[in-house]
Each structure stands twice: as structure tokens, then as C-alpha cells.
Chains A and B, each alone.
Chain A
Amino acid sequence: MKVNKLIKYQLTIVFLLIIIVPSLLNITGVEGFERKDENRTFNDSITINLNELINLPGQYDAFSNDNFFFRTPMLDFFHRMKFTVFNISPHPEKAIKGKDGWLFKSGREINILNGKSDFSPEVLDSFKNEWKERMRYFKDADIKVFWVIAPLKHRIYYDKLPYNVIVSETNRTEVLKEHLKRDYPNLIIDPSALLKAKKDSNRVYYQLDNHWNDKAGYFISNLLIQKLRIEFPTKDILEIPPVTWQIDENFSQGFHHRVMGIDELKERNETATIKNPQAQEAKKFGFKSIEGFAYPWDYENRFINKELKNGLRVLFIRDSFGKAIRPFIKEAFQESLLIFDAWQFKLNAPIIEEFKPDVVIYIGLETNIENFFKDYK
């Protein structure tokens, strides 16, 4: 049978073009597409060492992958295809795509959510022992202590989770609260109920990030202020000054935004501005940051409200969830010291002894609850 010439040659020509053109463009030095940053160093050169030829293939593979001419547009296409065609995250090991544009962290968070990381009775007892020790210290020092457990975004926006995420009937934070309730009824502050109540009228977590937002920070700061007023009736604790909310309809930042790799993803975000802030950033004590901590500049923040004479000195041992409350709580207390101790949530006795707070508040995401153990690495 005579074969049409078009049929005979067309696929071969297109195939050869596809496999030859990228290398030709690289060799001829045509300026390619701008490469997006990745969480690693690119392999942009090859060192040929005759004594170590064994390493050459690996080096060349890495070089070819990183310098493939169409790397950027193809990665872009990959991300968009996964996101829009399959309606899933391009990197489900890092983040998952929920409903209505909501993105959620995966991995440990999903295990916590579906009950795989529930605490055993032994672990619960270890928490009790840990707090027994800490409480003794705080009692001796006449310092009150609270522990704000920031709920996973998944728990607040459970209705936005994709169909393949199972939410366990057991909630390890609830179980822990119950376990510590008898001995330390006042210790844990769980803002879940507050956030759930507020979420219909206000967005309390970012869609494109795993953190709660300024609105949540505002609500939780008020919750803390109310709590501390009850605990310290003789102290002056100020109201948060009037806040204006600036709306950004094209907010496109956050962990999930970076993971998805799609620049145009955006959300509506409200940022707080306090009109007449009273508290000023003060000179740091200069406590030494944790070795290897990724954000050493954020290790210590100190604010003083000079107008307040009978106020509280509050030490916050916090993680990134403490950031959203910072602008508000600093206005309420006489002195606020925020320590980001690289998710270790240690007692931090030297800091306590130097700062001499009236109250210590631990604030961190429920994912990292285990970090409270002394020997947790």
C-alpha cells in the first residue's frame, strides 16, 4: 500500500524537532525563559575531573535538568495542569487543594487530622509530667502561665477540605485538654470555638497560606486581653486602639502560593493598621537566638507602652502564629516580649529570670505540640 508522504514524514520531523531544538537553543546561547527560584542551588556548571569521572554522569544529569531550555514554561504548565485540570495540588506532599480556592498543608497535618497522630495514654501522661514540672517553676516564681494552641486551618475550615481528607472523630488537642483539665484547668486556651464562630463573617485564615490572618490575630488578642483582665483584676490592661482594615483584593503570598507555583493565584486579604499606636519597639535584651534557627532576626521582639504604669509584663514564647497577634497585644500591656524559640517551646528560664514577667503565654500551632517535651528534637 502506498503511504501518503505527509504520514510518512510528519511524525518523524516533529519528533526530531522536539528532541533537538532545546539543546540547539542552549548551545547557540539563545536567551531562554527566566528560571524561577527553587529551594536549592541550581547546577549551572560541570567540573570535569579525570580522577573522578564516576561523578560526571550525575553532574551532567543535574546540569541537564536545571538547564533544560523549556524548564520554566513546562514547570508552569505542569503546575497549571495539576491545579486546573485535575483540581489537585502539583505537590500534594506539601499542600493539598480544597474547595473554593482553599489550600491546606498536608503531611503531618493530615495525619493529625485523621487521627494517625493521636496521643497514646503514655504521651498524655508525659504532657502532664512536663507541665507539673513547669508549673512548679512558675508557681515558685509567682508567674501565671497560659498555653494557646493554634488550631489547624483544617479544623476551622473543615468544610473546605477535599473529599479525600478524613477528619477523625477524635481530636488530639481536645483529648489533651481533657487530660490536663483536672490538674490545670486554666492552662490551655483553645481559640477554635471563637474562630469557628467568627469565620462566617470574617476570613480568619489565609487561603494561600497555612497561618491565621490579622483578623484572627485581632480576635485572639481580645480573647487574651479578656482572660488576663480576669486573672489580673488590679492591673491596667488597655483596649486595642481603633483599627482600620485595608483590603487587598490581589493578595498573592504565602506558603501554599509558593508551593502551587502559579503566580496569578490571589485572595482577598485585610491588613490591620492601628491609628495611634502607643507601644513602641524597645531595645532588645539581646538573648542569643537558637543555633540554626532560620529566622534569627525574629527571635526576640520587645515592645514597651510607656504611658502605662500599672500594666502587665507579658512574655510570649511563640511560633509563627504569634506574628498575627503582635500588633494588637503590644498595645494592651505595659511590656511585651516575644520570643520565637524555633518551635522548641522550652521553659526559657534565663529569659524569664531576666525579663521577670507577670505572665508567660506559650502560643503555637497544634502540629508542634510534642515539641513541649524537654527531650524533643
Chain B
Amino acid sequence: MLFNSIVFLFSFLPLLLAVYYLTPKKYRNYTILLFSFIFYAWGGVSYTLILIGSILVNYLFVKQIEKNNAYKKSWLIIGLIVNILIIVLFKYLDFLIENINIVGASFKTDYTAIPFKHIVLPLGISFFTFQQMSLIWDVYRNENTEKTTLSNIALYISLFPQLIAGPIVRYNDIVGQIKHRVSTFLLFRSGIQRFVLGLFKKVIIANTCGELADTIFSSSFNSLDSPTAWLGIIAYSLQIYFDFSGYSDMAIGLGRMFGFRILENFNFPYISKSIQEFWRRWHISLSTWFRDYVYIPLGGNRNGAYRTYFNLIIVFLLTGMWHGATWSFVIWGLFHGFFLIMERIGFKAVLDRLPKAIQWFYTILVVMIGWVLFRVEAFSEALEYIIKLFSFEKSKNISFLTYLDNERILVLLLALLSSSLFFVKIKTFLDNRKLTQTIVFQSLLDIGVVVLLLICIVYINSGSYSPFIYFRF
């Protein structure tokens, strides 16, 4: 079920809110758990069995680890392997088969290709599998924490706001809230504000930029001129940011409506002045997950420069693969890893001495070229697109203006301003003059939220179908 759908906004959410707040406090977790399963089942009834099975298996691992005996570490390792196997089976099996077949065919002329299995990817498997790994790891590390229950684990894994598109919530970050949380009107109000902001980002900004990017990327790259190619990648960069951060905002907002405080997942990544900084601001829950559960266990930066670079390459190889089972994602991950290592080797020191505008320009250029690799599946076509960007060609028959209209121009401007600190600075300016706490300002803010919500509903109602990008992962 999509948050930006009529069924979610006008059936699921009101029903859940009513049942949840009418349920006695001690049973509220069961209410939200039940609704989370319904929410997940909406995207595929059979997937829910996989989710439930996965929760039960991980519960067994948790119980074994909690026994705190000599086999604790073995259970952790088995648990991690099982979770990795689940994700490999559902997400990477055909990718592996494809590559085995390529290698096999290149060595043996009479090689019999292994048939593809065509296993359907359950929604959000990358998110909930990573949460499960985080769970058993956190339980392993936290010897003194309270014993956990099946319902707590089930709710942690399947909590609907973050179930299919993150953020990847850590068990330690949320277990306390599962057990004890306080819902207040003010928290609910801030949840509404955040949810509507996310809805607006997704429905208005990301979808508009997405239409524009799709139109350009679906053209023959050969026929594009440079300005159009730039427009395409700018639109896609904005689409992916507002799509994903919008979804995270909606998850955070919905969490607040039920008393949960889900951690932030984005912090203005496009203002970064290095790739290192970009990864501290982009998909924070994923990058910190890899930092804490892969990079640091591999030794982090404690074993010398070369080992650090190796660890970084591993982390970014996995980051790329996490996004999808194609080589384009792997290349995208390694591309970022390369620049991160370059910055560690000494480029960052050089960069720091340059004007901030140049630092920013370098970062955004690397990020946008990275998005070309991310967006275009075939590497050769991605290269063709990148060459177009820098060919400075201008076509007689094509103009980037062809792809623009008043609405798109307005949305692109809004997107550019919103991905910078423009609105934050306005808020700080008003905060400093103590204007934001006045009844007038707060009422205007509420009116603004309602207007944005109504605009979003108008667009959703208009029936434009918009699959959420991050469901693929």
C-alpha cells in the first residue's frame, strides 16, 4: 500500500487511528502490529508469509542469543547467514545465475545455462532483512537488556511506517518506544506536519521531476543535446532525493502520530562539500548501518591506510548491491567508494583549501554522474549519457525547453530551493525574531499544511500512477 494513495489516506489511516486510540494502551502494540501486517499484505498477500516466517526465525535466533551461553556467537553468525541467504535467495539469485552463466559460457562452449528462477522480490526485503540483522546483532551486544518478546520483535520488524521503504530503524533505537511511549497532541500535530511535508515532496515534487526525468531518459541518448541531458539528470537527482526523503518524512510523521520517534534519514545531502559529507547526509540509516555492522567489524580505519581503503571498497560494493541486483548499482557503489578513498588519500585536504563553491560543485558533479550510473542500467548507455553531458552539443530539433512548462519550472525551482538551506534560513530568521511561536505564525503554518494536504489529494485523485522508487530495494 502506498502512503500516497486514496486507500491509505481515506481508509487505512483513519481506521487505524480510530482503532488504535480506542484500544486500551496495553493492547495498542497488537493493534498496530495487526494493521502493519494488513498494510504489508496489501502489496502481496504471499509476501506476508515470508515476512512472518522471517520474524519467527529471527525470534528463535534472538532467544538462543539471549541464553548468553557458549553458543551465543555461533547463533549470531548462523542468524546473520540465514538473513543473508534470505536476501540472496529473493533478491540476488537470478543475478548470480546470470553471471555464472556468462562465466560458464565463456569457458565452455557446450555450457548448459542454469535457468533463471524468477523469484518475485518481496516488498522492502532489503529494509526488513537489515533490521533483522541489526536486531540479532544488538541483542548479541546488549547483554544486560530486558528479555525481548515475540510481539516486540514482530512490531519492530513490521512497524508499517518504515516497513517497506525505511528508514532502517535499529532495534536499540526503538525497543524502548515499543515498550513505553507517550502520545501527545503536540507530537501528533508535528507528525501531521511531517507527514504532509513528505506527501508533498513525493506527490508534487518527486513525481513532477520524475515525469520530466522519465521523458528525457526514455529518449534515444543519441538524439539528446547537452542542455537536455543536464536537465534530465538534474530532474532525476531531485526526483530520487524528494521521492526517498519524502517517504522517510511520511514514515517519521506517521510514527509520531502513534507516539514513535523515528530517526532522521536525510539532512540536506545536496549541500555537501565532499563525498564523505554526502554519505553523512544521504540515507543516514543505511550508511550508519553499514558503518556499524560492516565497516567497524571489518576493522574500520584502525588497521592502516590500505586496510581502511579495502574496508571502504567492501562497504560501498555492498551499498551498491543493496540497492539492486544489477551491475549498474555495483558500479554506482564503487564509483562513490572510489571518490571516498580519493578524499581519504589526500584529495579532501586539497579540497578543503578551495573555495566552498568549488567544493560543492565537485561533490554535486560526482553525485549527479553517480545518479546516471544508478539510473541507466546498461553501463555503455550510461557512459553515452555522461559523454552527452560534457559534449556541449546543441541540437536544432531538440531543446531542453521542449521538456519544460510553467508547472515543471515552478516545481524545479521549489525543489532546488528546498534541497538547499533556503527555507531553513528563513525559519532561523523568524526563530531569531521569536515569530515562529506566535499564534498567528502557528495558525498560518497549520493552514499551509492543510492547503498542501489538499493539493496532494487533488493530485493523487487525478490518478497519476507513481510507483515509489525505493520499493525496488
Contacts and interface: CB of A to CB of B under 8 A. Distances in A.
A18 B454 contact: yes
Interface of A: 1, 3-4, 6-12, 14-16, 18-20, 22-23, 53-54, 57, 60-61, 64-65, 68, 70-71, 74-75, 77-78, 81-82, 86-88, 90, 92, 110, 114-116, 162-166, 168-169
Residue with the greatest number of chain A CB neighbours at <10 A, chosen from B13, B223, B397, B404: B397
Contacts of B109: none
B405 A11 contact: no
Q: Which 8 A-B pairs have the closest CB atoms?
A: A115-B397, A86-B407, A11-B446, A74-B461, A64-B7, A57-B42, A7-B442, A78-B462
Contact of B46 (A20, A54, A77, A163): A54
A87 B44 CA distance: 40
Contacts of B443: 6-7, 10
A12 B10 contact: no
28 contacts: A4-B439, A7-B439, A10-B443, A11-B189, A12-B192, A16-B17, A18-B453, A18-B454, A54-B44, A57-B43, A57-B45, A64-B5, A64-B7, A64-B10, A64-B11, A74-B458, A74-B462, A75-B461, A75-B462, A78-B458, A78-B461, A86-B410, A88-B407, A114-B398, A116-B397, A164-B403, A166-B398, A168-B396
A11 B450 contact: yes
A154 B403 CA distance: 18
Nearest to A82: B407
Contact of B6 (A11, A20, A68): A68
A285 B192 CA distance: 69
Contact of B446 (A7, A53, A57, A82): A7
Interface in B16-42: 17, 41-42
B71 interface: no
A164 B193 CA distance: 36
Nearest to A97: B405
B439 A70 contact: no
A116 B9 CA distance: 42
B43 A166 contact: no
A65 B42 CA distance: 15
Interface string B389-414: 00000001111011111110010000
A165 B446 contact: no
Contact of A16 (B14, B397, B405, B437): B14
Given A11-B192, A64-B7, A114-B398, A54 B17 contact: no
Given A54-B45, A87-B406, A88-B406, A19 B6 contact: no
B175 interface: no
Interface string B188-215: 1100110000000000000000000000
B449 A164 contact: no
Contacts of A169: 396
B458 A168 contact: no
B186 A3 contact: yes
Contact of B437 (A1, A165, A166): A1
Given A15-B453, A64-B5, A164-B401, 12 more contacts: A7-B443, A14-B450, A15-B192, A64-B11, A68-B6, A70-B461, A86-B406, A92-B405, A110-B402, A114-B398, A164-B404, A166-B397
B458 to A, nearest CB: 5
Contacts of A92: 405
B458 A77 contact: yes
Contacts of A86: 405-407, 410
A78 B463 CA distance: 11
Nearest to B461: A74
A110 B5 CA distance: 32
> Interface size class for chain B?
35 or more
Contacts of B454: 18
B422 interface: no
A77 to B, nearest CB: 6
A87 B406 CA distance: 7
Contacts of A163: 401
A41 B159 CA distance: 36
Nearest to A110: B402
A113 to B, nearest CB: 10
Residue with the greatest number of chain A CB neighbours at <10 A, chosen from B6, B42, B185, B192: B6
Contact of A166 (B14, B399, B453, B463): B399
B1 interface: yes
A43 to B, nearest CB: 12
A237 B106 CA distance: 76
Contacts of A75: 461-462
B140 to A, nearest CB: 37
Contacts of A88: 405-407
A4 B189 CA distance: 13
Contact of B14 (A19, A65, A70, A164): A19
B185 A12 contact: yes
Residue with the greatest number of chain A CB neighbours at <10 A, chosen from B5, B188, B405, B442: B405
A53 B397 CA distance: 51
Contacts of B46: 54
A168 B399 CA distance: 11
Contacts of A18: 450, 453-454, 457
Contacts of B111: none
A92 B406 CA distance: 12
A210 B450 CA distance: 39
